[in-house]
Amino acid sequence: MSVPDYMQCAEDHQTLLVVVQPVGIVSEENFFRIYKRISSVSQISVRDSQRVLYIRYRHHYPPENNEWGDFQTHRKVVGLITITDCFSAKDWPQTFEKFHVQKEIYGSTLYDSRLFVFGLQGEIAEQPRTDVAFYPNYEDCETVEKRIEDFIESLFIVLESKRLDRATDKSGDKIPLLCVPFEKKDFVGLDTDSRHYKKRCQGRMRKHVGDLCLQAGMLQDSLVHYHMSVELLRSVNDFLWLGAALEGLCSASVIYHYPGGTAGKAGAQRVPGSSLPAEAANRHRPGAQEVLIDPGALTTNGINPDTSAEIGRAKNCLSPEDIIDKYKEAISYYSKYKNAGVIELEACVKAVRVLAIQKRSMEASEFLQNAVYINLRQLSEEEKIQRYSILSELYELIGFRRKAAFFKRVAAMQCVAPSISEPGWRACYKLLLETLPGYSLSLDPKDFNKGTHRGWAAVQMRLLHELVYASRRMGNPALSVRHLSFLLQTMLDFLSDQEKKDVTQSLENYTSKCPGTMELITLPDGLTLPPVPFTKLPIVRRVKLLNLPASLRPQKMKSLLGQNVSTKSPFIYSPIIAHNRGEERNKKIDFQWVQGDVCEVQLMVYNPMPFELRVENMGLLTSGVEFESLPAALSLPAESGLYPVTLVGVPQTTGTITVNGYHTTVFGVFSDCLLDNLPGIKTSGSTVEVIPALPRLQISTSLPRSAHSLQPSSGDEISTNVSVQLYNGETQQLVIKLENIGMEPLEKLEVTSKILTTKEKLYGDFLSWKLEDALAQFPLQPGKVATVIINIKVKLDFSCQETLLQDLSDDGISVSGFPLCSPFRQVVRPRVESKPVNPPEGSKPGDSSHVKVSRSCTRAVCQVAWHSWFLPSLFGGKLLSIFQKGKEALFDNTIAFVESWFLSIFHSMECSGKQWQA
């Protein structure tokens, strides 16, 4: 026997093997349609008995395995069902001849056979036959299941007759020696009359009868025969058959302890039930039909041959622990024979299935490890793939997922071995996908945003590389791009600098032929690969929605709001939606965007790659309103720190807009990166209100801009400062041009003036205007210009106002742009704080000799004169009148003149002995 059956399980020892095969040319669809109906009749109950009969169907079975039928009867093909198409009577003889040829292949072991003919009608089809069934077509064949039931009845009758014939102790008859194929030459010339030879014959026959009893549903009888066989064979050291007897004992005990079966998902499950004799007939496989068989014709003198009730089962049945021990012993005996490698391998598989039910994973792994090293003949590549795949399933059955993934991956590599002329890259790819759970690997990038990394990164990267290569050899470049993108996104932290360069270079080569998209990729087997957004290329750490520039921010018109309008709403508490309201409130921004205006969102990003990262076509992803995103292109330095990036766009409609994320194109892969999927991102909110488009006004004046701001502007105001120098009494016009640079017409114009007041003193009303000419142009259409003329007239009265200049100086107000002070007041009437703390000796209170006049005071006088300030002289009743017209040279001469004049006045006064400082 050279072909192992990896689907073998312990309960298969009680089944009858029936082969179903096509004869001639039969379509695969029609064949398997009938095969499915035939295999549904897999379990029957014997009439007037407590026995159950099980059938095992195969559509392919190696004839050489049939030669081991005497060694283990469940390997013997006892039934043959053939299916053929025949549409004319002249083809019938040839078809029937093919049926007989097929029977001869398994003729030495067959109990009975059937031929199902489809398409033949007429006289031949109407003739009654027991071994042939005629049907007009594959749809009109309602009696297929009934024919199978009759067929199984005939199999049972033959089985029962053989069991009775072998079990009967005929004194004086010589018991034949049962042999496996490779033993026949070893027994040539042996003494058949020796006691050792007779014991060998008896032991092997007992074992054979035990197999027949197990197939016939007589569990207890099989246990008795197995025990007797073990004793006889052990005494003559017949190790091969002793191992078979021990395995039969284990199988019968497994059937007793685990009536639900040990095949798991791989085989047909039995419905769990009690193994007591009274309930044995109620154990059925799902979907199986029950057939009652009358064994009365096989009884002798009316005595039922089933003696199970007379012997206690527990006495002969092995315990669950002993079952494994006996399996180990049997396998050790098999290992002594090179030609029994298949038997040894299948015994290991059966033991593993039992241990899986017993939850003894470590012991099961020992059996599987032994199975791996069993040497068989030179296996074909297909057989190697099957072997590694079954080993993978068995490791999965006992919970060794990583080991299961390893053997599945070996099977995948075997599909594309160099010795195969046509490598099966699709099969390789499919098997590689099945290894992903064993390596804690998922093809959904969201699973890698949940926390710590699971699994061995090095093995996972190797597996992803193999998926990329296999998909490329399959001729699916989109699949290669998707797997390579997943590798770069999820394994970026584990890639070396050189590996990052290699992976990105390969990705660019792939995307040059097939760009990466955000579409789902559906594989032929139904598996869907989600898109892979590049959220790490670059990495975003903060997202901030920016307010519009001050010149574009919408301003509420207070005159339109009305007075005392309450915007408050009734307070209604609801604990159900309070949490959601809080979240919405946190996301809402307290400023507005305007329809049609450019809006900005700032991102803080950095480049984790060891080379310059080029990000193409980067823009915003929004929802709520129609939004035109203006793409940007970035070039980030290698391993740069946080780098500000501003993305802009224009809302086209009004409403509430939500910034959901951004899109990028990196290495030819288009990505939609959502903020919800970015770990560790900081944001102050992502929702903002978009109001309708507003008019935009540009103001220009005829005066030059001032270099100094006279008054700081508030946050809600936009201010500009212009400068003008006027003499008292002078008038000048200020021309203000109003240009509508927006898309909406200007409908209303309000002009107000703010008079600068300090300490409740009014310094003058300089401005006046008329809006009739300007308002005549309203509504001002886009692109039009309106003109407003402001009259500026200076009218100040300084006569007898000695405190005016000092108040102006104290208040920081300048008419000419320079601070002013009054030196005359300091000379004539010094303030308290200007008096010296310790006056010199001999001085009298109020003595003006202690007043110090500095050069700065004289310069201030000149400044006053510059602006035609007329002050009464306080020295000798003279009137000082100095006019300066703005020339610097004349200004310096005036300073010298005033200084000399002051000195002459002071020397003319009788102030000898006093110290003066000029």
Q: What is the pLDDT of residues 639-675, one digit of tens each?
A: 888 999 999 999 999 999 999 999 999 999 999 999 9
pLDDT class of 801 with cuts at 50, 70, 90? low
Question: Stretch 143-166: mean pLDDT, rounded?
Answer: 92
Instruction: Measure the CA–CA gap between 850 and 839, rounded to whole angstroms.
Output: 8
Residue 115 or 718, more confident: 115
How far is the C-alpha of 63 from the C-alpha of 594, rounded, in Å? 84
Task: Give dist(CA 31, CA 712) in Å, integer.
Answer: 94
Give the strand pairing for 52-58 and 43-46.
antiparallel
Q: Please report the pLDDT score of residue 481 as a whole number.
A: 96
Q: Over 177-234, what HEC string results?
A: CCCCHHHHHHHCCCCCCCHHHHHHHHHHHHHHHHHHHHHCCCHHHHHHHHHHHHHHHH
The upper half-sphere exposure of residue 149, i.e. CA atoms within 13 Å in the direction of its Cβ, equals 15
Q: 3-state SS of 56-125?
A: EEECCCCHHHHHHCCCCHHHCEEEEEEEEECCCHHHHHHHHHHHHHHHHHCCCCCCEEEEEEECCCCHHH
Secondary structure of 403-424 in HEC code, one letter for each residue: HHHHHHHHHHHHCCCCCCCCCC
Total count of residues recorded for the chain: 918
Indicate the pLDDT class of residue 779, thresholds 50, 70 and 90.
confident
Buried b (16+ CB within 10 A) or exposed e, 70-98: bbbbbbbbbbbbbbbbbeeeeebeebbee
| Strand bridging mode 588-594 / 632-636 | unpaired
- Other CB atoms within 10 Å distance of the CB of residue 918: 12
pLDDT (tens digit, 9 = 90+) per residue, 241-284? 999 999 999 999 999 999 888 886 544 445 433 333 333 333 33
pLDDT tens profile 599-617:
999 999 999 999 999 999 9
| Other CB atoms within 10 A of residue 584 CB | 12
* pLDDT above 70 coverage of the chain, percent: 74
What is the structure's pLDDT at 898? Answer: 58
Cβ contact 647:632 at 8 Å: yes
C-alpha distances in angstroms, 874 versus 699, 827, 879? 50, 10, 8
Convert the pLDDT of each residue in 429-457 to its tens digit: 999 999 999 999 999 988 887 767 888 99
In this structure, what token pair is assigned to residue 355? 């241990």
**Mean of per-residue pLDDT scores for the chain:** 79
Strand partners for 651: 627
Residue 709 CA, chain-centre distance (Å), reads 57
pLDDT at residue 245 in the model: 96
Mean pLDDT for 95-99 is 92
Quote the pLDDT of residue 899.
Answer: 59
And the tokens for 576?
A: 């159900």
The amino acid sitting at 592 is Q
Which range of 183-192, 195-204, 569-578 scores highest in mean pLDDT? It is 195-204
Average of pLDDT values for 99-126?
A: 91
Phi, psi at 44, each rounded to 5°: -135, 160
> Going by C-beta distance under 8 Å and a sequence separation of 6 or more, which residues neighbour residue 601?
543, 544, 545, 546, 620, 646, 647, 648, 649, 659
Nearest-angstrom CA–CA distance, 601 and 197: 96
In 3D, which of 584, 655, 651 has the Cα closest to residue 620?
651
The torsion angles phi and psi of 566, rounded to 5 degrees, stand at -90, 125
> How open is the CA angle 101-106-107, to the nearest 5 degrees?
75
Q: Which of 706, 718, 624, 615 is nearest to 667 (CA)?
A: 615
* pLDDT band, residue 421 (cuts 50/70/90): confident
How open is the CA angle 371-376-379, to the nearest 5 degrees?
110
Structure token pair of residue 634: 């970035």
